[in-house]
A and B are shown apart, each in its own frame.
Chain A
Amino acid sequence: MQAKLSAVALSIAAAFALSACGPKEEAPPPVAAPAAPAAKPEVVVKLGHVAPMTGPQAHLGKDNESGAVLAVEELNAQGLEIGGAKVKFQLVSEDDQADPKQGTIVAQKLVDEKVNGVVGHLNSGTTIPASKLYADAGLPQVSPSATNPKYTQQGFKTAFRVMANDVQQGKVLGEFAAKQGVKTVAIIDDRTAYGQGLADEFRKAAEGLGLKVVANEYTTDKATDFKAILTKIKSTKADLVFYGGMDAQGGPMVKQMKELGIKAKFLGGDGVCTPEFMKLGGPAADGQFCSLPGVPLEQLAKGPEFKTKFNTRFGYDIQLYAPNAYDAVMVIADAMKRADSVEPAKYLPEVGKTNLEGVTGKIEFDEFGDLKSGAISLYQYKGGTLSYVETLGGAPAPEAAPAPAEPAAAPAAPAAPAEAKK
């Protein structure tokens, strides 16, 4: 009941804002936020955030949420004015448990609550069914991390993502493998939408470039033992093991590769480009390669700032997609500013025209809502840190053409690459 009332009040407030006579009403304090004694007239802009907050991917969900929280706090500190009214952003965080069914329930909840935009979901499996609800409601949805190409190919005008999709990333990973002089590859995927999608695109790219795929093996996102498939791979004497999957499996996997005496290099996508991978892989992680969408921090002016800000604010390291979640919020806020409206219907066209220098690189959307420049950077684990190797694919590096700095979007960079001065 309360949610509905506040939603009604909010739309009234928004209507005032639109008619540019300034809001006369104070929106009721949001449900979850601490009561703030705000005296100034302001419009509350609710942004939905959805990610799994329970279950095996909960740590990534929390990470995304933290990225979004940071963005919202920064926006509020700036004291933005949109449509003549002071706006206050508020994050409505929901848990989809990485379950498609929960995904639609919480999506409906956000639609009901009349949020002004949605950041999420984390997984493609929940993002896709939820996107239909947002599309029906005309609500812009910016996913920080759903990489399944299908998400943006359904023909919904509201679906965007601020991360290279599996096709873009898989292709670049294939190119990179070929550039390394690798002749034979073994491919493992974890049979999730993410892992399988990435591995498939990698396979296509690698075969297209003349590499020989000598083994296709599979595991699950709950497995801890990979010795059986690794033993098989060892007998094929592959030069490189490609893994489409997450850090929780990738870390132990490289460890077990070492135990079995496998000399092949290991290459993975963003799912294994995390501090967690290094922690779980131990010394065996050294020398392995992985990729992250976007451009590394040393190429962006305020790079380390984001990491420092994140660490100071939350007291822990970025796991994976927090910078993307941060960017997703900024994309929405930026579109609102340009449209001079917080109304979804008004600012939606502006989202498609985004041209923003984000934490993860330049953000411009193609006609599907995918990143235009799907630039991917490759890294190598060296002595306990990720060191930058090169950036492939997409547009030229952003520093070449620095866009006029948007005050809202403080550019920063993915957390992981800490050093690398090449």
Chain B
Amino acid sequence: MDISLHQLLQQFPQQVVNGLVQGSIYALVALGYTMVYGIMGLINFAHGEVVMIGTLVAITVTGLLAAAGMPVGIAGLCGLVISILSCMAIGWSLERVAYRPLRGSPRLTPLITAIGMSIVLQNLAMILWGRNYMTFPPLLPKVNFEFAGAYFTLVQVVIVLLSALMMSGLVLLVYRTKLGMAMRATAQNPEVASLMGVNINRVISAAFVIGSALAAVAGVMVGSYYEVAHYQMGFVLGLKAFTAAVLGGIGNLVGAMVGGILLGLIEALGAGYIGYFTGDFLGSHYQDIFAFAVLIVVLMFKPSGLFGEKTGDRA
């Protein structure tokens, strides 16, 4: 393809916007992974499915209320609230059923239960919501902006702001509140923390509930951005978010945010420019590889991710 340099420069602002929004979505989901990992050292593989359920619950509730004559905005708000509540319930029970009984068992055991729960949630969603793709009602008014040649919508702005807000909120929670202190203590050494009077069961439950609430918010944002939802949407999203969390240094909240945005930017700019730089040998069909390649390179030089602390012997 003979794309001129001018064309390449022309698409740059738009690609940055694309990457930023996609990255913020990854970040929103990655925060949930990192939250749980930071405290328990456990990959909650089912997190992506919680996001999916959050989206589908919001669709159903919003649809029902809107059909009953409620204005879409308010119906959407109700949908969001109910979605958050149901995801919190799911997160809480997930931990009780699949993870708590396994504390102290071999490291891979909870990974398998997580995969099992992921399969269960996905198929449950398929039974409840069916197999078809669903449309998500647009919750925010369709306002378009143009800036420096880049087009963007109100939903996109909200997504970027919201993920930054969520991350700051979490940082405040972890470093400024009593619960946060208990969380950090549990993360460092659960036994000592419990000797100091920290109820580690409650702390871990709290981490799961908060992580799941974030998942619901992420789900609703993803849904209202793409206006599409499906019972399998959680898997790929979860995978990308997990990659983002590791890239930033899993367990680190700022790292999750940075990792997510970085991943989004790599994907967008990679898809946009790789063909140009490799003389069309590589193209956007290798888009999913860029993220992993960058991840591998980063981990080769910084084995704990960009912002990760050195982890102990956890293998």
Contact = CB atoms under 8 A, between A and B. Distances in A.
Contact present between A and B (CB < 8 A): yes
B151 A216 contact: no
Interface string A264-292: 00000000000010011010000000000
Contact of A260 (B10, B151, B271): B151
A223 B236 CA distance: 8
Interface string A38-63: 00000000000000001110110010
Interface residues of B, number: 43
Contacts of B227: 252, 255, 280, 282
B3 to A, nearest CB: 6
A421 interface: no
Interface string A222-242: 111101110110111000000
Contact of A248 (B230, B283, B287): B230
Contact of B133 (A214, A217, A229, A248): A248
A144 interface: no
Contacts of B100: none
Given A229-B271, A232-B11, A214 B1 contact: yes
Nearest to B133: A248
Nearest to B16: A231
Contacts of A220: 288
Contacts of B113: none
Contacts of B153: 259
B144 A225 contact: no
B18 interface: yes
Interface residues of A, number: 38
B132 interface: yes
A228 B131 contact: no
A215 interface: yes
A228 B135 contact: no
Interface string B200-241: 000000000000000000000010001110101101100000
Per DSSP, are chain A's interface residues mostly helix, strand or loop, or mixed?
helix
A224 to B, nearest CB: 5
Contacts of A56: 230, 232
A16 interface: no
Contacts of B1: 214-216, 236
Contact of A225 (B15, B226, B230): B226
Nearest to B269: A228
B19 interface: yes
A222 B237 CA distance: 10
A235 B11 contact: yes
B303 to A, nearest CB: 29
B131 A218 contact: no
Contacts of B34: none
B226 A252 contact: yes
A276 B132 contact: yes
B264 to A, nearest CB: 9
A58 B129 CA distance: 13
B18 A252 contact: no
A57 to B, nearest CB: 9
Interface string A386-399: 00000000000000
Interface string A60-76: 00100000000000000
Contact of A216 (B14, B230, B283): B283
Contact of B284 (A229, A235, A236, A259): A229
A229 B283 CA distance: 10
Interface string A7-46: 0000000000000000000000000000000000000000
Nearest to B267: A228
A279 B134 CA distance: 8
Contacts of A282: 135, 227
A316 to B, nearest CB: 9
Given A218-B284, A228-B15, 6 more contacts: A55-B232, A227-B21, A227-B22, A235-B10, A259-B151, A282-B227
28 contacts: A54-B126, A59-B133, A62-B131, A214-B1, A215-B1, A216-B1, A222-B235, A224-B233, A228-B18, A228-B267, A228-B268, A228-B271, A228-B272, A229-B271, A229-B272, A232-B272, A232-B284, A234-B11, A235-B10, A236-B3, A252-B226, A252-B227, A252-B228, A259-B144, A259-B153, A261-B151, A279-B135, A282-B227
The 3 closest A-B pairs by CB, nearest first: A218-B285, A228-B271, A235-B7
Interface of B: 1, 3, 7-8, 10-11, 14-15, 18-19, 21-22, 126, 130-133, 135, 144, 151, 153, 222, 226-228, 230, 232-233, 235-236, 267-272, 275, 280, 283-285, 287-288
